[in-house]
Amino acid sequence: MPSSLNVAVIGAGVAGLLAGRELMRAGHRVTIFEKQNQLGGTWVYDPRVESDLLSLDPDREIIQNSLYSSLRTNFPRHLMGFSDFSFTKIYDDPRTFPSHEEVLKFLNDFAVHFGVNELIRLSTEVVRVELLTDKWIVESRSGELSQEEVFDAVVVCNGQFTEPRVANFPGIDKWPGKQIHSHNYRVPEPFRDQTVVVIGAGPSAMDISGEIAEVAKEVHISTRSSSLLAKSAIFENLKQHSEIDYVDESGKVAFVDGSSVQADILFHCTGYKCNFPFLKTNNIVTVDDNRVGPLYKHVFPPALAPGLSFIGIPTAVTVFPMMELQAKWISLVLSGQVLLPSKESMMTDTEGYYKSLEQHGLPIRHTHFLFPTKFEYLDCDLSFIWTSSKFSSLRQCREKRPTGAARLHCSESSRINLIILFTLKIF
Ligand code: FAD
């Protein structure tokens, strides 16, 4: 492999900025394609919402971002920085869990500090990525201009929070009320005096249900989780229920636990679908119920590695540090400093992982959901990257990993710290 490669990075969100920085540092020639007119991805607030609030209409204009106006981070700023560029500077908002505006300023500073902003082609959408013999063709569009370029490698960093997943249950076709997905939520005012059923129990559901409870008549959270939600203790008009059993034409929403409400709005906080509309791999990489695969350690498709890689696929992790590790790994591999196992070994490892999910009764859609194994992934699977110059392969690194007790100690302390920090945000 030549020492300096021509690498395309798709997206200038956190993942793309990190990929750009690592690859540039390693001496590669990098082009970051970004379809929006500024960097930052998720953290660029867009007050517009889509014409179809469930985002099902194929002809709608797609709005890339899903931030709501009041959003503050769900990690403290200290967990949203990078190993050599910490998020300690306070721009306007001194809170531990800063606003989205603060994160965007931090990312802009990061890009300027490392010169990554020089690598970005704004308002340029990648519409096709395809392997031709051993090179990658990247077709992009910028206004009227369309062009095809050839790259040695492609790093996919297009973000996974644009294409909503919507819940489905009996009676939904005849239900007369309004429906919205959190992708199209910006401010609580449209929910004033309404009875709202929020579906989901992830971070968005928790944040948004508390926010709309301040103006809505009633908020009912429907969740598979049996744990008591802290916010139902804070808001008198907020109640928790089990999953929805059915809805009907009278506006009734019936829950599996036997309770029911007459609701005005069904609010889907049900997450997003992974989507790579530009990627043509002859079905080597597929998306099946949100499993992007096969991907070795959620990054490299064995048959196409190292030329094709992905950053930011795992969820329920401390996102920024994880993406930094993934970006470093990709850069080290492309630079020949770290060797990947053989294609067969990567495939065996990946299939073994899928099998273990099945044995634990976990659905396919949980493939990249790393909780509670996220610390294993960061502490162990990717930790070798920090000292990678000493190792030439993942196998060697695995041999050097700390043993059980030390690993457990490390993971437990990180976990306890996180629990304390999450609790702080609730108050
Ligand atoms: P994105 O930020 O989505 O960036 C992808 C970029 O790729 C975008 O700029 C997009 O325009 C561009 N792109 C896509 N397709 C193309 C194409 N074909 N051609 C060119 N460019 C393209 N994480 C946290 O750590 N803390 C939080 O508090 C937090 N809160 C969140 C709240 C919400 C509502 C959401 C939706 C996500 C939140 N996240 C949070 C997760 C957050 O998305 C990640 O932290 C991270 O910002 C994702 O970065 P990314 O680079 O993978 O994707």
What would the pLDDT profile of 115-174 be if each residue is shown by its tens digit? 999 999 999 999 999 999 999 999 999 999 999 999 999 999 999 999 999 999 999 999
CB of residue 314 inside a 6 A radius of ligand 1: no
Query: Average pLDDT in the 7-18 region?
Result: 98
Q: What is the pLDDT of residues 331-365, one digit of tens each?
A: 999 999 999 999 999 999 999 999 999 999 999 99
CB of residue 15 inside a 6 A radius of ligand 1: yes
In whole angstroms, what is the distance from residue 264 CA to residue 253 CA?
10
Nearest CA to ligand 1 atom 24: 319
CA of 278 to the centre of ligand 1 (A): 17
Strands 178-181 and 260-262: unpaired
Residues 278 and 129: beta-carbon distance below 8 Å: yes
pLDDT at 213 over 50: yes
In whole angstroms, what is the distance from residue 112 CA to residue 103 CA?
14
Nearest atom, ligand 1, residue 11 CA: 7
CB of residue 119 inside a 6 A radius of ligand 1: no
Of 121, 79, 40, the closest CA to residue 378 belongs to 79
Residues 238 and 267: beta-carbon distance below 8 Å: no
CB of residue 42 inside a 6 A radius of ligand 1: yes
- DSSP state for residue 115 in the 8-state scheme: T
Q: What is the pLDDT of residues 376-395, one digit of tens each?
A: 777 666 666 655 544 444 44
Residues 32 and 21: beta-carbon distance below 8 Å: no
Looking at residue 370, what is its pLDDT? 86
Query: Average pLDDT in the 410-426 region?
Result: 39
84 burial type by CB count under 10 A (0-12 exposed, 13-18 middle, 19+ buried): exposed
In whole angstroms, what is the distance from residue 157 CA to residue 353 CA?
23
Looking at residue 392, what is its pLDDT? 40
* Residue 242 CB partners (closer than 8 Å, separation 6+): 222, 223, 224, 255, 256, 257
- Annotate 125-183 with DSSP letters as a single string: EEEEEEEETTEEEEEEEETTEEEEEEESEEEE---S-SEE-----TTGGG--SEEEEGG
Provide the whole-model pTM.
0.90
CA–chain centroid gap for 308, Å, is 19
CA of 233 to the centre of ligand 1 (A): 32
* ipTM confidence score: 0.99
CB of residue 103 inside a 6 A radius of ligand 1: no
Nearest CA to ligand 1 atom 45: 319
CA of 66 to the centre of ligand 1 (A): 9
